[in-house]
Structure 1
Amino acid sequence: MELFWSKGYTATSIAELCAVMGINSPSLYAAFGSKEALYAAALKQYGETYGPFIWGGFPTAPTAHDAIEELLFKSADVLPRPGKPLGCMVTLASAGDEGHAELKAIIVARRAETLQRIHERLERAVAEGELSRSVEPLSIARFYAGVQQAMSIHARDGATREDLRATARLAMKAWPTLTGASR
């Protein structure tokens, strides 16, 4: 997972994968069937390993504002972690753009999950009266998902935890303008 995360799908060779896994190529193919299937498994493992760090408090946050703020600040903590590849494996993945349609579908679906989670939380805020029915939950969700994705790119380029937290604070200052809710 970390090899794919740091180098990307195309730049990671079967020989490198076998070396880090401590197996030979026939064993890799026997276990996974293909490099593509191994990459798909690595994406799944990434989500299971790092998703809870970023999304853990999101569903239970008392307000939509708190949920999105939690998402951005947890992302600021996780994306530049020392000793791990920088940024988000899913956000930074380009395998789908390199001619692998099945992998592209997986990556697009994973990215869409972020947007969907935020959108659903905003829809819930509207339904519960936390936000006005005049807001545009999908547009707001796209804004905050985009901020989180940009934070991933900045982390890959060397932004620190504090740099990313500053981005999160600034993005949350947009909340009243986007939602009409004071905060």
Structure 2
Amino acid sequence: MTETRAKRGRPRAFDRTAALTAATRLFWERGYEATSVGELTEAMGIRPGSLYAAFGDKKSLFKEAVHSYGRSPVGAFMGVALEEEPTAHAAFARILREAAVIYPDPTHPAGCLTISAATNVTSQDAEVETFLRNLRNKNLALFEARLRTAQQAGELSDTASPRALAAYIATVIQGMSQRARDGATAAELTESAELALAAWPAARH
């Protein structure tokens, strides 16, 4: 009976993946607060009723968009570098250099969605701000964990602070995202990345 009803149900009249991609791009361009439901449905090519039926409310759609972004090449590059590179220095050098190229890439909105999408939100949308802050802090914790492991392996001197270095790298990345949104080029951001890498502490002797 359940299968019969499912087959007779009205099929969804839109491509959910394409609609989510359109919503992600709009949130990325304008931020959460400045993006209205009307603008979302227009960009997604659906009616408000379809948005609510398929994604829930605007907040739920935004969270799904952020998770989708995090699985995409432009959103997942930091985690990939941490997993693939054999040393912490190689991993963070790759992260900074790839950020310099990815953030100003004209094929998508500038900067990082997770960094920029919830600036200047109202108090009623504090949950969105907290959601993104928690994601950023999770990345910071991953940075610190990788650096602590590197220190134990002798990649960093005993006097180096994994916590401070992780925070420094995260600060540089966030700054590069904003600079990209302000029009900085890949060449300019690469210069910033190389300067940041010059501050890398020495290995244990």
Q: TM-score, length-normalised on structure 2?
A: 0.82
Aligned partner (choices 49, 52, 69) of residue 46 of structure 1: 69
Sequence identity, in percent?
40
- Deviation per residue, 1:93-143 (Å, 9 max, x gap): 226742213212210111112211211110111121222232210001000
Note if 1:148 corresponds to 2:173.
yes
The answer on whether the counterparts of 1:96 and 1:107 sit within 8 Å (CA) in structure 2 is no
Alignment partner, residue 14 of structure 1: 37
CA distance in 1, matches of 2:101, 2:161: 29
Equivalences, count: 179
Aligned partner (choices 91, 115, 122) of residue 91 of structure 1: 115
**Structure 2 vs 1, CA of residues 95 and 147 (structure 1 numbering), >3 Å: closer, same or farther?**
closer
CA distance in 2, matches of 1:125, 1:59: 13
- Deviation per residue, 1:54-78 (Å, 9 max, x gap): 4322222122111111110011111
The answer on whether the counterparts of 1:53 and 1:78 sit within 8 Å (CA) in structure 2 is no
Note if 1:56 corresponds to 2:80.
yes
**Structure 2 vs 1, CA of residues 40 and 96 (structure 1 numbering), >3 Å: closer, same or farther?**
farther
Alignment partner, residue 203 of structure 2: 181
**Structure 2 vs 1, CA of residues 78 and 123 (structure 1 numbering), >3 Å: closer, same or farther?**
same
Amino acid at match of 2:97: F
CA distance in 2, matches of 1:32, 1:132: 49
CA distance in 2, matches of 1:17, 1:79: 23
Aligned-pair CA distance for 1:48: 0.9
CA distance in 2, matches of 1:62, 1:25: 48
Show structure 1 runs of 5+ residues with no match.
none
Alignment partner, residue 25 of structure 1: 48
Amino acid at match of 1:181: A
The answer on whether the counterparts of 2:111 and 2:181 sit within 8 Å (CA) in structure 1 is yes
Aligned-pair CA distance for 1:15: 1.1
The answer on whether the counterparts of 2:104 and 2:186 sit within 8 Å (CA) in structure 1 is yes
CA distance in 2, matches of 1:138, 1:162: 29
The answer on whether the counterparts of 1:122 and 1:141 sit within 8 Å (CA) in structure 2 is yes
Q: TM-score, length-normalised on structure 1?
A: 0.91
Which stretch of structure 1 is more off in the superposition, 113-122 or 3-12?
113-122
